[in-house]
Structure 1
C-alpha cells in the first residue's frame, strides 16, 4: 500500500483515531482520580489492594491500547496526502499537546508502579491538581485542530 492509498481510507482512519483518543482520554481523566483515593488508603488495606487492581486494569486494558491506537491512526492521518498544510502553525500546537499528553501518560504509568510497591511519592493534593492536566491538554489539542488559530 502506498501513502496515496491512505486517502481512500481517510474517513475510517479519522473515525478510528477519534475513537482511540476518546478511550485514551476517558482513562486519562479517571486514573489520576483513582490516585487521589489511593494516596490516603492504608498500605496493605482492602481499599488499597482494590485500587491497585483497578489502576492496573485501567492502564493495561484501556489507556495503553487506546494511546497506541491514537498514535498509529494519527501517524496514518499525518501521512495522508492533503490532510495537513505543513506551512500552517496549528499542527505544531497539536503535536506539542499530544506529546505532553503522552509524557503525562508515562508519568501516570510510573506512578501506578509506585502505588503497586506501596510507595506514595505524591500527596493527595498533587493528584487533585494533576487530575486537571488531561483537561487542559485536551483543550489545547482541540482548539488547535478545530479553530486553527495560526
Structure 2
C-alpha cells in the first residue's frame, strides 16, 4: 500500500494514501510490541501522547510502532479496525481517494478522568474520541456524582 506520513489538520502528523483504496481493502496492520495494560500505564504515566491499541479483552495493548500509529481519529472515518487472530488490521469502509488522510474511530473506552478531545472537524463530531458507550457511562456516573447522597 502506498502510504505516507505528513502534517495533519486533525493532529500533528497523519497517514495519507498516495493511491486510491477500494472499500473492504486491508490497508495496514497496527504493529508493535504487546504489553499488559498495567505495563503501558506505568510506561506512559507522564506522557501526554501514546500510540496504544487495546486488544482482546483490553488487558493487553499494542505499543504502536510503524505507519498505522499515525492514523488519526475521526467521528466520520474512512477506515475501521479488525482484530483477526490477535492481529489488528486497518480496513477501508468506503472507497478512499488518492491523497486522503486515513482515519478510524478510536472508540476509546478508558482513561480515568482524562479528557480525550476530538479535532476531526466532521459535521457529526461528538467532540471526544471516547466511544458512544463510554460517553453514556461517563454521563451516568456524573449524574450520580452530582446528585449527592440519597436519603
Shorter-chain TM-score range: under 0.3
- Structure with greater Cα Rg: 1
Structure 1 length as normaliser, TM-score? 0.25
* Between structures 1 and 2, the one with greater helix share: 1
Structure 2 length as normaliser, TM-score? 0.25
The higher relative CO (CA closer than 8 Å, separation ≥ 6) is in 1
* Between structures 1 and 2, the one with greater strand share: 2
